[in-house]
Amino acid sequence: MPHAALTLLCSLLCLACPISAYAEEIFDGFSLAMLGAHTNTCAITFDDGPGPHTPRLLGILRERNIKATFFVLGSRVARYPQTMRAIAAEGHEVGNHTYSHVNLRNLAPETQRDEIARTDAALLELGIPVRYLRPPYGRYDKNTLEQAAIENLTIVMWSIDSRDWQSPRQPMARVLPRSSSGKVHGVFLFHDNHRSTVDAMPRILDDLAAAGCQFVTLSEYLDNDGPVCLH
């Protein structure tokens, strides 16, 4: 789709989007799909770690010179500090996935604040800066938006869900989508706490590369020059 037409489509769809004071701090799945629609850029992200399988995953990424983004749980940061240091040392990005993987919409504002702030604090103790928040299950409310703003975090979801938690034997079944132009792009969601996912990652990454993916960091993907519709 031409750039101008894509921009117009985004604008029209956003007319129905609720407006909030924090609208510019959310990249939902639609926004992310539109952002990369005219490119072959692929941002690989992992939720729920770090864990015992993460070091092996780091080796897989290192062999292919791919930088990923890890949305980590604060409780696991405290359990695997050396793995967290390795993630940062190898140039991967790190995001906040709350402290204990709870549905933030079910929590009081002060409890949400604790879930987010404790994870930021655990990472900062290791010297790891954080720019992004991904609420567990993709669920958030106005209190989440307020706390993200306080912590200077941008909420980023995903556009391609591998559903590796649902079908551990086929974690790549949903990860080769193409746009109408034939390009493969998106922000891909995996979970590095599943051994089956890490087992499958060499083939997944190689297949994505063969399909034309240009692997970028999440920051690079979000900095894309294409049109974006936020809500």
Q: Which of 47, 48, 120, 161 is catalytic?
A: 47
Distances (CA, A) of 223 to 66, 96, 134, 135, 173: 18, 19, 18, 21, 28
Calpha distance 24→133 (Å, rounded): 14
Q: Which of 92, 185, 191, 194 is catalytic?
A: 191
Q: At what angle do helices 54-63 and 195-210 cross, to 10 degrees?
A: 20
Give 155's DSSP letter: E
Calpha distance 9→132 (Å, rounded): 27
Calpha distance 12→30 (Å, rounded): 13
How many other CB atoms sit within 10 Å of the CB of residue 11? 11
Check if 97 is active-site: no
Check if 28 is active-site: no
Q: Which residues participate in catalysis according to the annotation?
A: 47, 191
